[in-house]
Structure 1
Amino acid sequence: MAQKPLHSLDKQIENIFEEWDKPGKPGASVGIIQNGKMVYLNRFGNADLENPTPVTKDTKFKLMALRNQIVAFAVLLLESEGKLSMNDDIRKYLPEMHEFEKPIRIHHLLTHTSGLPDFIMLQRLTGMQKKAQKTREQTLKMLYNLTNKIFKSGDKADYTDAGILLASEIVAKIAQTPFKDFVTSRIFKPLGMTNTVFGDIDDTIIQNRAQIYSRNGDTYKNESLNFYTIIDFAIYSNGEDMARWMLNFSKPKIGNRTLINKMFKQTKLNNGQTVDIVPGQYMSNYKGLQKFQQHGRVYGNTTYIAHFPEQDFGIVVLGNAYDFRAKEAALKIADLFLEKEFKQAPITKINIEKKKREIIKLTDSKLKKFCGYYWNDASSYSRKIYLKDGKLFYFRSDGNESELAPIGKNTFVLTEDPERYTITFENQSGKEVMLFAVGDEYEYRNEKYAPVVYDSKQLLEFTGLFLCKNLKAVYRVEMQNGKLIASTNNNNEIIITPYKTDAFTSKISYFSNLEYKRNDNGSIIGFIVKTSNVGSQFFEKID
């Protein structure tokens, strides 16, 4: 269980992880640096629940997106040696890539501004099973075959692992050695990161690897093979090694101050607007302090790293349970260390209104006017608002819905987290919209629509066999029990339902928007899968 730490705040920190430092619970590894020194290391809970094994100093957690910092640093290291420029067209090193109208430059890859779709979602779209594995070469070939992107390079930012993978491949090409060998010899070994390794594939034996878990009622289920992966792209580490990684930002052992400063350089879009993204991570303001961070949370992997350069403070929390909140735990620790550094935000009318958030009562007749279907055009998904027993519910999919509580005549909060999630219904230029706000960070616009209805005879027109040449993927769309079912050769069956003329949606994120296309004679010639994570992929009707 909890080990002897290195700092006087150990009791307060242990309290944060108290829930997880018990038998039968997954665990966490924590590392903290301050003023150029490692000031706190600790671990809690269990690495393996099937064979009860506590998290130890040698337990390795999958870093997930924390890996992006390491890829960005490797690229900048080569730039500091004059071997590349962040402004280089990536086709200089990857000539296999399609020549897009606006070139993709290396800095686009590291700041999620390339416009490339997410390769994991592309893999899922091809019918790849969760437990299947792709080689690096197979995944790269899939990206090389792409002939369209979601947006022009530099127009906006949207997270995609495709850019990080391609950046790592550029490093490998220039160094003439596999990426994992480059970072092991040039980064991990010089920094003393002896417990940081690459996982070639997920069934490779990695000593002291933490299993990963998600909730299954009152207990947990193992998710260790329940996700998409590719060979030579997963990094495993622990709190101590990642603390050593953060120390290099304070006192560079490898690279130099110029390189480190580039890791904190804000991204500028084509229109001149700056966004809160820097190479390999994100930046934000936390209680008046500048913070650089990266968060990873997929299936049972939950990881978070944050660095406060002006305070020379950094923290990493690595966990192996999906319901573990690594970011929340890390920021609670930051509160303990940086309390005297925080800059109090001025009290404004907006702040006062946020604090009130008192639940009010609305009649069923007033609630009913908000019921219906809402479409998010930016991310291509549908949401349903419905009334039951005098309460409104926000429906995503079966088993995934949230109760809404009114705090105003047209404003609601999600009861599961009323301080964070707010929904406001408005009329904008004659259109009924639902605005879903996540704190002060994001706002999602959803427009109300009336779903189109087709009878069984009309639905038959949308059946057939469809081929995407880019992805070499084939889907069969057929009628089953009065419903349209899309499936691949791997028997991934997806129910698709119409939401407007010639357009269908489903509960699957990568297949949430299908727009059928017709020729001049009105005959269907194919459909476009058009979503925020796969871009626009055309499937031609071949039968």
Structure 2
Amino acid sequence: MDHRMRRTMLAAGLVMVMAVPAHAAAPPEPAVDALFAAWSGTGTPGCAVGVARAGDPLLLRGHGMASLEHAVPIMPDTPFHAASVAKQFTAFAIGLLARDGRLRLDDDVRLHLPELPDQGHVITLEQLVHHTAGLREQGVLLSLAGWRGSDLVTWDDILGIVARQRGLNFVPGSELGYGNVGYTLLAQVVERVSGQSLPAFAQARIFAPLDMRHTRIVDDPGHLVHGRASGHRALAEGGWALSQPMFAHTGPSNLSTTVGDLLRWQRNLADGRVGGPALRDWMRNSGRVDGDETGYAGGLILGAHRGLRTFGHDGMDAGYRANVVSFPAQALDVAVLCNASGIDAEALSLQVADLYLDPPLAPRVPAAIASAGPPATAWAGIYWSERSDEVIRLEARNGALRQHGGPAAFVPIGPGTFRPGESTHRWRFRALENGGAELTLWDHWPAPRRFVRIAGTVPDAAALARFAGRYRSDEVGTTFEVALRGSGLELAWPRGQRAVLQPVGGDRFVLPLGTLTFTRAQDGSVDGFSLSNRRLRRLPVPRL
């Protein structure tokens, strides 16, 4: 068929769907199309979706446009940037080298990367794989050093700032802290041990043997990838703009692939054709902390959906969203790749899976119940985690409990227990004897996070003025300025970056980066501050 005719047919909504094997039920194509209706046609970015059972493709389909700029539709074989879906291939490369006897999973990472600082603890390769190493997150550190989202990020940028760190988020092996820096270091380990870059190693040892013809790891955002979908972001005034990741490094991201190739890969995680059964099992076995499973395996998130075990991974970078999910007991694999930042690829992939799973299925979220005990709004307030220094703000708005600025109302699902909207996350509140409240939060991982409600005096203008001054972190190479602006404080750092500090009581403030807590000397004077968020804990910034 002439390629121009094929493109016209695709743009009109006619898509290629692979034939269904005789043993599989007829795919519910209209129902799948309905899920992607908002992302179909010639005026919007969209998604490619693939479904397979026991390795046999049931559906390969494209919706929307790969490039609005050039009027190119998404086809089943359109490559996408798949963001953190890349992590499982980096983990697999490490596993192959361990199987080959070229390294050990319990090796100290400094054995292979001696330029890394001695943090006073051994950090093993397997801890990097399982996100239990405790390293501060590269993206947060670079942001504090002045990098913007549109800036190129290179190997030297990351390795340089990691080498300057003099502290960890937590003792290695003591908890899980998801991030990207560990996988960046693992990519360097692959290169140092094998003598090949991760892109070259993966091509020779993973992609070529699995016939993943449209998959590559890209180490330069300027590299051309034939037919690749462009990333997009929605504009407030309407319309779209391009949104591309600017990563010149590999390991945690920079995978370019198609849904068809991902289905081949997901099958390999079932049959172990490449790598063998032992490596397959290691890839799917959870890391552990104090003997308890963390829910993160070899670049794979272990979970459950509607009562069924799953493994897979999502991905979010710039104007791309991705999700792969496998149901091992049902031999069902789903891959969704999208090119707009507003698309929830994870939700779509699970909704697609629902169409192919045999009923009855458990409810996706716990059912709402009549609220017992204090009303949800009674739990409003500011909650703080002593362990991570994170702050969560909850507010009573429109008669419901919500996260500060968030739209989802908390729905009661048990005594003192709620879910935000249709989320699967659980928030459990408990009144304390001192009149306070405790929050236990289960979100992405099996281990809960704990917070206590805090109440502190909001500083007046005179107290705020005492925080003003210049502060310096040699670990990120940045001088910060805290200044009074109107009735509040503002934090400024290089290249015009600014953030309003919103007081939450005493010496503690919140900003888009997380929590800023001023520290004091023995005489009570302000001698610095610390910065914390989900991926950075108490980075010290002394006062000049």
TM-score, structure 1 length as denominator?
0.86
Distance 1:71 1:145 in 2: 25
Which residue of 2 is the match for residue 246 of structure 1?
A: 266
Which residue of 2 is the match for residue 452 of structure 1?
A: 457
On the 8 A contact 1:505/1:514 being kept in 2, the answer is yes
Aligned CA distance change for structure 1 residues 292 and 410 (closer, same or farther; 3 Å): closer
Q: CA deviation at 1:71?
A: 0.2
Which deviates more, 316-325 or 245-254?
245-254
Q: CA deviation at 1:356?
A: 4.6
Distance 1:310 1:386 in 2: 42
String of CA shifts for 1:275-321, please: whole Å, max 9, x gaps. Answer: 22211111123344432111123443221112233443322111122
Which deviates more, 170-179 or 249-258?
249-258
Counterpart check, 1:274 vs 2:293: yes
Q: How does 1:80-479 map to 2 (within 5 A)?
A: 80-216=99-235, 219-222=238-241, 224-225=243-244, 229-232=247-250, 233-269=253-289, 271-339=290-358, 354-357=366-369, 369-387=378-396, 391-392=399-400, 394-397=402-405, 400-404=406-410, 414=420, 417-418=421-422, 420=424, 425-430=429-434, 431-434=436-439, 445-479=450-484
Q: Which amino acid aligns with 2:489?
A: L
On the 8 A contact 2:286/2:293 being kept in 1, the answer is yes
Q: CA deviation at 1:95?
A: 0.8
Q: CA deviation at 1:375?
A: 3.2
Counterpart check, 1:9 vs 2:27: yes
Distance 2:261 2:46 in 1: 17
Aligned CA distance change for structure 1 residues 405 and 90 (closer, same or farther; 3 Å): closer
Q: CA deviation at 1:100?
A: 2.5
Q: Which amino acid aligns with 1:87?
A: D
Distance 1:372 1:128 in 2: 33
Distance 1:85 1:463 in 2: 50
String of CA shifts for 1:330-383, please: whole Å, max 9, x gaps. Answer: 22333333316x7x66xxxxx9x9435358999xxx787544433344554444
Unpaired stretches in structure 1, ≥5 consecutive residues: 346-350
Which residue of 2 is the match for residue 487 of structure 1?
A: 492
Q: Secondary structure at the match of 1:506?
A: strand
Which deviates more, 107-116 or 137-146?
137-146
Counterpart check, 1:522 vs 2:524: yes
Aligned CA distance change for structure 1 residues 179 and 411 (closer, same or farther; 3 Å): closer
Q: Secondary structure at the match of 1:137?
A: helix
On the 8 A contact 1:115/1:158 being kept in 2, the answer is yes
Aligned CA distance change for structure 1 residues 204 and 452 (closer, same or farther; 3 Å): farther
Q: Which of 527, 535, 540 in structure 2 is aligned with 1:538?
A: 540
Distance 1:4 1:473 in 2: 53
Q: CA deviation at 1:385?
A: 4.2
Aligned CA distance change for structure 1 residues 387 and 516 (closer, same or farther; 3 Å): closer
Which deviates more, 89-98 or 437-446?
437-446
Question: What is the aligned length?
Answer: 522
Q: CA deviation at 1:405?
A: 6.4
Aligned CA distance change for structure 1 residues 368 and 162 (closer, same or farther; 3 Å): closer
Which deviates more, 158-167 or 279-288?
279-288
Aligned CA distance change for structure 1 residues 463 and 455 (closer, same or farther; 3 Å): same
Q: Secondary structure at the match of 2:173?
A: coil
Distance 1:406 1:259 in 2: 42
Q: CA deviation at 1:78?
A: 0.8
On the 8 A contact 2:379/2:401 being kept in 1, the answer is no
Distance 1:534 1:15 in 2: 41
On the 8 A contact 2:45/2:67 being kept in 1, the answer is yes
Unpaired stretches in structure 2, ≥5 consecutive residues: 1-12, 21-25
Aligned CA distance change for structure 1 residues 473 and 213 (closer, same or farther; 3 Å): same
Q: Which amino acid aligns with 1:466?
A: Y
Which deviates more, 36-45 or 169-178?
36-45
On the 8 A contact 2:373/2:415 being kept in 1, the answer is no
CA RMSD of aligned residues (A): 3.2
Q: Which of 487, 495, 505 in structure 1 is aligned with 2:509?
A: 505
Q: Which amino acid aligns with 1:262?
A: W
Distance 2:235 2:330 in 1: 41
Q: Which amino acid aligns with 1:485?
A: E
Aligned CA distance change for structure 1 residues 432 and 258 (closer, same or farther; 3 Å): closer
Q: Which amino acid aligns with 2:19?
A: L
String of CA shifts for 1:177-229, please: whole Å, max 9, x gaps. Answer: 2222221222222322222233334354433222223444684533514x664
Q: CA deviation at 1:386?
A: 4.2
Aligned CA distance change for structure 1 residues 152 and 305 (closer, same or farther; 3 Å): same
Q: Which amino acid aligns with 2:521?
A: N
On the 8 A contact 1:29/1:43 being kept in 2, the answer is yes
Q: Secondary structure at the match of 1:462?
A: coil
Q: Secondary structure at the match of 1:4?
A: coil
String of CA shifts for 1:410-459, please: whole Å, max 9, x gaps. Answer: 66664xx2564665553123222455565996865443323422233322
Distance 2:36 2:343 in 1: 10
On the 8 A contact 2:459/2:505 being kept in 1, the answer is no
Q: CA deviation at 1:266?
A: 2.2
Q: CA deviation at 1:149?
A: 0.8
Percent sequence identity over aligned pairs: 22
On the 8 A contact 2:106/2:124 being kept in 1, the answer is yes
Aligned CA distance change for structure 1 residues 301 and 441 (closer, same or farther; 3 Å): farther
Distance 2:312 2:260 in 1: 17
Distance 1:425 1:355 in 2: 18
String of CA shifts for 1:470-491, please: whole Å, max 9, x gaps. Answer: 2212211122223221111211
Q: Which amino acid aligns with 2:532?
A: K
Counterpart check, 1:30 vs 2:30: no
Distance 2:488 2:394 in 1: 23
Q: Which amino acid aligns with 2:105?
A: M
